[in-house]
Amino acid sequence: MIARLVDRTGKWLVRRKMATYARFDPTRTCVLVLGAQRAFLDPESAWQRTIKHPVASAVLRTFLEASRTKGWHIVHSPVDLDAAQAKGSSARFFRQQIRLGALDIDRDGGQIPEELRNASDSLSHPYAGLNAFTNTDLAELLEAKDIGHVIIAGGVVNADVDSTARMAVELDYDVTIVSDLVAALSEKDRANTLHITLPRIVARVLTSAELEGAG
């Protein structure tokens, strides 16, 4: 009985969240892809061996293709791995990954795969910390496109995704997180951020399948 009630309540909440997409102008909607680079997407990379929930390149590509058919803008915001390696990052998260050897830039890991790059409209300046808006041209790029709704995919859910989403909300964007297209170093990080932290900050947290079926 309780399980059925929880299931029905969850489905109702998803339908309610999805209904809001009817009012979004697709020309003012942007999919912001964080850190979609070979170092993070390659199944053989050291990075993918260190984390619990990696982002699947094929699923991300399918989602971007579906987003393109809706008329949504696609903007890639890469991590500046060269700067993180050469200068050191102020973020403890990146320092840890460098020590683990997870940020493998020796194999051209900082590059965005061609099939993903071809699907994008724009490429912002790389970010060297956790917030894709800090010391980049991302805010100006979104303003130039008159974006009002930002959908965030890629990145690490309790690191750059969380930080970037918070800034986007402060900049008065309507923000959606794609729950199955963000990475996590542990199941605890994933559950806490997607089910507790981010729902209190952003407008909605939805799966790629739910977004692909929207409006």
- Structural domain includes residue 180: yes
Instruction: Compute mean pLDDT per 10 residues along the chain, 215 residues long, and list them.
Output: 49 47 76 91 81 89 92 92 60 68 65 83 85 94 95 94 96 96 91 95 95 78
pLDDT of residue 23: 59
pLDDT of residue 3: 46
- Structural domain includes residue 7: no
- Structural domain includes residue 8: no
Short-list 94, 95, 111, CA closest to 42? 111
Tell me how far apart the alpha carbons of residues 7 and 58 are, in angstroms, rounded to a whole number: 29
- Structural domain includes residue 15: no
- Structural domain includes residue 165: yes
- Structural domain includes residue 13: no
The DSSP code for 213 is T
- Structural domain includes residue 77: yes
Question: What are the φ and ψ backbone dihedral angles of 90, each rounded to 5 degrees?
Answer: -75, -15
Q: Which two tokens stand for residue 59?
A: 């699923």
Q: 152 and 34 in contact (C-beta within 8 Å)?
A: yes
- Structural domain includes residue 162: yes
Tell me how far apart the alpha carbons of residues 211 and 176 are, in angstroms, rounded to a whole number: 10
Total domains in the fold of the chain: 1
**Residue range(s) defining the domain that contains residue 146:** 21-212
CATH number for the domain harbouring residue 77: 3.40.50.850
pLDDT of residue 62: 92
pLDDT of residue 162: 96
